[in-house]
Structure formats: structure tokens, C-alpha cells
Amino acid sequence: MSRTCGSASPRPRNTPAEIVDRLNKEINAGLADPKLKARFADLGSTVFPGSPADFGKLIAEATEKWAKVVKFAGIKSD
């Protein structure tokens, strides 16, 4: 079984695109740092820098995948 976990940087709704782009650029630059990549690896994680659109796609794909698992297993919420 494999699983994917993502992390995002929360921000207020309607944050201007130029600010979102700048945050994304700076976060991706940090994630490209070899020391930070090594630290994540030490913690058992792999870093996948990307754009907000990439993260949205990841979430949509994971939601679809796990919805099928929940439906197949007949899992119901309380």
C-alpha cells in the first residue's frame, strides 16, 4: 500500500496571486536546499516542490482514490 501526504502553506482567501507566487517560489527554493532535503529524508519524507495547482491536483487525486476505498469498504461516518 502506498500513501501520499501533502502539506500546504495556509493563507487568507483572496490573497493576491503575486503574493501566492512569491510564497511558492520562496518555499520551493527552501525545499531545494540539500540540507533541508536531507533532513526530510532523515524523517522518512520525500520533498516534492510544486505549484498551488500541483497541490490542488494531488488533493483531487487523493480524494478520488480514497473515496473509492471508503465506498468499497462500506465505511460510514458516525
User: Is-contact 28 50, C-beta < 8 A?
Assistant: yes
pLDDT at 4: 57
Instruction: Domain ranges for the chain, please list them.
Output: 17-67
Kindly give the parts of the chain with pLDDT less than 50. 1
What are the angstrom distances between the C-alpha of 58 and each of 9, 42, 52, 67, 68?
15, 23, 10, 14, 16
Is this model's pTM higher than 0.75 or not? no
**Amino acid sitting at position 59:** I
pLDDT at 65: 94
pLDDT at 77: 87
pLDDT at 10: 81
